[in-house]
Structure 1
Amino acid sequence: MKEQPLLIRDVPVSERPRERMLKDGIHVLSNQELLAILLRTGTKNESVLQVAQHVLQAFDGITMLKDATIEEMCKLKGIGVAKAIELSAAIELGRRIHNYMPEERYVIRSPEDVSNYVMEDLRFLKQEHFIALYLNTKNQVLHRQTLFIGSLNASIVHPREVFKEALKRSAASLICLHNHPSGDPTPSKEDIEVTRRLQQAGQVLGIEMLDHVIIGDRKYMSLKEQGYVK
């Protein structure tokens, strides 16, 4: 009597690749199961798991699969052009992730570093831009965010908006800065008040505000150096 093909619906639900991935995590899946998820469907006579097994057998496990062409994949039963393209795209994406080298992050060790980082972007602006630089434990810039545009005052610059991004980025600390369109970086009463409010909020949240730097025209002023940031 001819043996009936094993279809994916014949596999217990708890043992199907997608269900196992959701239940136990992707790391427990075999290469066959990962391939089966990418292939999605089998053929009339074979389950997707069996088709995945044929692919692995044809390419010596995953050893040669990374270099397989679409034409070579299409020679296998159950693999058409669409599936071959999807497999090739997944392999290429994995290769790019493996080879990815993060760009070197800018390190801030002084107010001068802050100035060098933003001076040319800010010194010609006609409105005040309030910006936060979010840093990791090595004082590398994780993210730069323009938070407010307009005259600086305590009602506009709310600590909630400043520190929301810090929490989102898991930042260890932050540096605030803004420009003075007049070109004179001397802090105003409002600048000092905003600085104190933000510093207090950072102390509560455990995210240190390292400085508030005011950018003028080729000049800057650090409120930390002026004694307003402790």
Structure 2
Amino acid sequence: MKEHYHGHRNRLKKRFSKEPESLYDYEVLELLLGYVLRGRDVKPQAKELLERAGSLSAILGYDTKNIKGLGEEAQMFFGAIREFFARLGYEDIDREAVIIDKPEKAAQFLKYKIAYDKKEHFVALFLDVNKKLLGFENLFKGTVDRLAVYPREIAERAITSKATHVIVAHNHPSGNMSPSETDITLTDKLIKALAALDINLADHIIITTKGFYSFKREQVI
């Protein structure tokens, strides 16, 4: 005998096929989870995950293992979705020569890499003289309100990468895009540390799920 949720899921699929916008957010999530956790009623997990994460987009940075019944497969699934969107963000750039010469391109590249995390990440993009991407590194990871960043280490990585320009960026899990005094002080230290090595700090970007702040665009540097 088929479980009750099989009929429910089929009805969801039919509704989605005819009118996808009619589904509630948790129902869309339920459909997705149904492909990961087959043969199970995942409606309770879908509702709880959405409630705990706060929004559909926030799920991309939420640890699904906190939800009873969701394990490594669900975590891997949403990680793959996040990487999928990250690649969509810069697929129009020539993969043989990723040029990041504008704040918008840097933010586009970084959004799905760090914007959705609940902890702060400090990353660096290393570029050659033509702003071609030489490397990307997630250098430091901290709590929501505390992140230790070491300019000397960033300078060393830039030398190793043979970079002419460096773009640094970090996320603000709070969603506030405004730079703090600490952000401004750190930027000044990085400018000096890199300039001593004839390396240019091209930008410092603060990124959130809603947008970004560019020190270069705002003429802070």
Q: TM-score, normalised by structure 2?
A: 0.54
Residues 1:204 and 2:188 are matched in the alignment? no
- Report the Cα distance in structure 1 between the residues aligned to 2:210 and 2:198, rounded to whole angstroms: 33
1:124, distance to aligned residue in structure 2 (A)? 1.2
2:175 paired with 1:183: yes
Pairwise CA distance, 1:110: 0.8
Q: What's the CA shift for 1:122?
A: 1.6
Q: What residue in structure 1 maps to residue 185 of structure 2? A: 193
Alignment of 1:45-194 (within 5 A): 104-150=96-142, 156-194=148-186
Q: 1:224 aligns with which of 213, 216, 221?
A: 216
Shift of 1:170: 0.8
Q: Which amino acid aligns with 1:134?
A: F
Distance 1:125 1:144, change over 3 A: same
Following superposition, the deviation at residue 152 of structure 1 comes to: 8.9
**Does the C-alpha gap of structure 1 residues 197 and 129 become closer, same or farther in structure 2, counting only changes over 3 Å?**
same
The alpha-carbon deviation at position 154 of structure 1 amounts to 10
Q: 1:155 to 1:219 in 2, by over 3 A?
A: closer
- The CA deviation at 1:105 is 2.7
What TM-score do you get using the length of structure 1 for normalisation? Answer: 0.52
Matched residues, number = 128
Give the share of equivalent positions with the same residue, in percent. Answer: 34
Q: 1:205 aligns to what SS in structure 2?
A: coil
Is this contact kept in 1: 2:140–2:147, CA < 8 A?
no
> By how many angstroms is 1:226 displaced?
2.2
Residues 160/153 of structure 1: CA separation in 2 closer, same or farther (3 Å cut): farther
**Cα 1:204/1:155, change in 2 over 3 Å:** farther
5+ residue gaps, structure 2, are: 1-93
Aligned Cα RMSD in Å? 2.2
Partner Cα distance (1:155, 1:212) in 2 = 15
Letter in 1 for 2:140: F
Task: Please report how far the alpha carbon of residue 150 of structure 1 lies from its aligned counterpart in structure 2 after TM superposition.
Answer: 1.1
Measured against aligned partners, the alpha-carbon deviations of 1:51-86 in whole angstroms (never above 9, x if no partner) come to xxxxxxxxxxxxxxxxxxxxxxxxxxxxxxxxxxxx
Work out which of the two has the higher radius of gyration on C-alpha atoms and give 1 or 2.
1
Kindly indicate whether the alpha-carbon contact (under 8 Å) linking 1:211 and 1:222 is maintained by their aligned counterparts in 2: yes
Which consecutive unaligned segments of at least 5 residues does structure 1 have? 1-101
Query: Do the aligned partners of 1:152 and 1:190 also contact (CA within 8 Å) in 2?
Result: no
Retained in 1: the 8 A contact 2:118–2:144?
no
Q: Which residue identity lines up with residue 106 of structure 1 in the other structure? A: V
Residues 132 and 177 of structure 1 are in contact (CA less than 8 Å); yes or no, is this contact kept in structure 2? yes
User: Conserved in 2, the CA contact under 8 Å of 1:136 and 1:171?
Assistant: yes
